[in-house]
Amino acid sequence: MSKMDSPRQSRRSFLAAGAGVAASVLAKPALAGGGNPANQPPNVPEWTKSLGEGVAVRPYGKPSKFEKDVVRRDVEWLTASRESSVSFTPLHELEGIITPNGLCFERHHGGIAEIDPVDHRLMIHGLVERPLILTLEELKRYPRVNRIHFMECAANSGMEWRGAQLNGCQFTHGMIHCVQYTGVSLRTLLDEAGVKANGKWLLVEGADAAAMDRSLPIEKALDDCIIAYKMNGEALYPEQGYPMRLVVPGWQGNLWVKWLRRIKVGDQPWHTREETSKYTDLMPNGKARRFTWSMDAKSVITSPSPQAPIRHGKGFTIVSGLAWSGNGKVKRVDVSLDGGRNWWPARLDGPVLDKALTRFYYEFDWNGEPLLLQSRVQDDTGYVQPSKAELRKIRGVNSIYHNNGIQTWHVQANGEVENVEVA
């Protein structure tokens, strides 16, 4: 029996509800769907009879109280303290491609810096003609860009290298989010400062208690990086780097330095802790790949999944999932019902953007028999998401990062779903 109670409805209540539905079909069809009959036809519920709260009673809106379980969660045994840890996006509850700001996964190295924007400064110095120091208000005076991009931690799915371990899409794939950023092209600021001819690398550094620092090659910095101050139209949330963060489209999340305070231009990389001790990928021969910045194409079925079982029984069934590539756009997604033996094209719906999440659907008539559900993406470079076996054949199981192998969900006859490995 699964340890993962699905939000809103525990496994036990799910099973009970299932039994209830079966009983009601025989007795009172009107009761199908559960709940309180007093609120259902032919009766009229309380919310139809009396006035609700007025405007501005909720000056900043929140989701319905009935959605209280749609939240970020952490895996406490993963890390020694919550201040240097990770929480996961509840992908199994979300649709479309945009992640709500309050549900974007968190990864902090020294807790959330709570920064008064009046006191925040961004300094650009090193191999530049004109060192620069900016306030947030000054940053906002530079020409703006709006871009939708996914951001994935290189360690997303990292707990799954040795086999299926965590029973939920939130935990296996939830170190990812996708929002629309508003900010200033990094190129604009580097032009303002005037990078010298020998300026080949940037050190980017945060203002948090870990003062996270990473090296970024100048080619990427001048290509599509952004210094963002808005996400999904509003100010960055503190846990996402308020008042400003770096956006490095398609590249590992660790480079997207939050609470960005300093950019130093140099002629060599710095080999900081986060690009030597961490975020290097140990191969079977004992050598480690370094500077593995880009996130390869990957996809996952978000529903059904262990936290989002099939509750309706056999019949028309929607498989919903996400695909993305750090190297371009999603070209196609295929879905398998038999663990990767046969594949069927999925339908992409909604925007298909460069280095952004893309939503796919596969709709079919489920006969109620067990399934081994998989999804497989191909991006516009031709890269096809590998199986876990193909990935392990090259990389072994010690590399922690960049696990983009194909995920398998075992859908059981009762609609429950579990994370499995197949061979």
Partner 1 sequence: MSKSRKFMAVALTACVLGAPALAGQRTDTKSGPRYHIGRAPTADEIRGWDIDVRPDGQGLPEGKGTVAQGEKLFMDNCASCHGEFGEGSGRWPVLAGGKGSLTSDNPVKTVGSYWPYASTLFDYIRHAMPYGNTGSLSVDEYYALVAYVLHLNDVITDQNFELTNRNLATIKMPNEQGFVMDDRATSEKSFWQKDPCMKDCIAPVKITGRAVAIDVTPEDGKKSRGVE
Subset of 127-146 contacting partner 1 (CB under 8 A): 130-135, 138, 141-143
**Interface segment toward partner 1; rule CB under 8 A; list 30-38, 148-156, 202-210, 358-366:** 202-210
Beta carbon nearer to partner 1, 354 or 421:
421
Does 209 sit near partner 1 (CB under 8 A)? yes
Q: Residue 138 CB: number of other CB atoms within 10 A?
A: 12
Cα distance between residue 276 and residue 291, in whole Å: 9
Q: What is the DSSP string of 169-213?
A: HHHHH-SEEEEEEEEEEHHHHHHHHTB-TT--EEEEEESSTT--E
The pairing of strands 176-185 and 358-366 is unpaired
The pairing of strands 226-231 and 245-247 is antiparallel
Does 68 sit near partner 1 (CB under 8 A)? no
Beta carbon nearer to partner 1, 148 or 337:
337
Please select the residue that binds partner 1; options are 27, 77, 316, 365, rule is CB under 8 A: 77
Beta carbon nearer to partner 1, 98 or 376:
376
| N-term to C-term CA, the chain | 22
CB of 53 to partner 1, least distance (A): 28
Please select the residue that binds partner 1; options are 13, 40, 213, 392, rule is CB under 8 A: 213
Site for partner 1 in 373-402 (CB under 8 A): 376, 378, 381-386, 390, 394, 398
Site for partner 1 in 273-302 (CB under 8 A): 273, 276-277, 280, 282, 284-294, 296
Sheet containing 371-379: give its strands across.
344-345, 330-336, 371-379, 408-411
Site for partner 1 in 317-376 (CB under 8 A): 332, 334, 338-344, 372, 376
Does 194 sit near partner 1 (CB under 8 A)? yes
CB of 91 to partner 1, least distance (A): 15
- Is the Cβ–Cβ distance between 111 and 238 less than 8 Å? no
Site for partner 1 in 78-137 (CB under 8 A): 78-81, 83-84, 109-110, 123, 125, 130-135
Beta carbon nearer to partner 1, 24 or 110:
110
Distance from CA of residue 414 to its chain's centroid?
29
Please select the residue that binds partner 1; options are 264, 298, 355, 359, rule is CB under 8 A: 264
- Is the Cβ–Cβ distance between 230 and 224 less than 8 Å? no
Query: How many binding residues for partner 1 (CB under 8 A)?
Result: 105
Burial of 72 (0-12, 13-18, 19+ CB in 10 A): middle
CB of 276 to partner 1, least distance (A): 5
CB of 394 to partner 1, least distance (A): 6
**Collapsing DSSP states into helix, strand and coil, what is residue 321?**
strand
**Interface segment toward partner 1; rule CB under 8 A; list 18-26, 58-66, 99-107, 267-275:** 267-275
The pairing of strands 408-411 and 201-206 is unpaired
The two structure tokens encoding residue 65: 């109280």
Does 223 sit near partner 1 (CB under 8 A)? no
Does 218 sit near partner 1 (CB under 8 A)? no
Does 156 sit near partner 1 (CB under 8 A)? no
Beta carbon nearer to partner 1, 179 or 195:
195
The pairing of strands 408-411 and 371-379 is antiparallel
Long-range contact list for 384-392, CB < 8 A, 24+ apart? 384/297, 385/296, 385/297, 385/298, 385/299, 387/340, 388/160, 388/421, 389/423, 392/161
Cα distance between residue 211 and residue 113, in whole Å: 10
CB of 138 to partner 1, least distance (A): 5
Please select the residue that binds partner 1; options are 67, 191, 363, 369, rule is CB under 8 A: 191
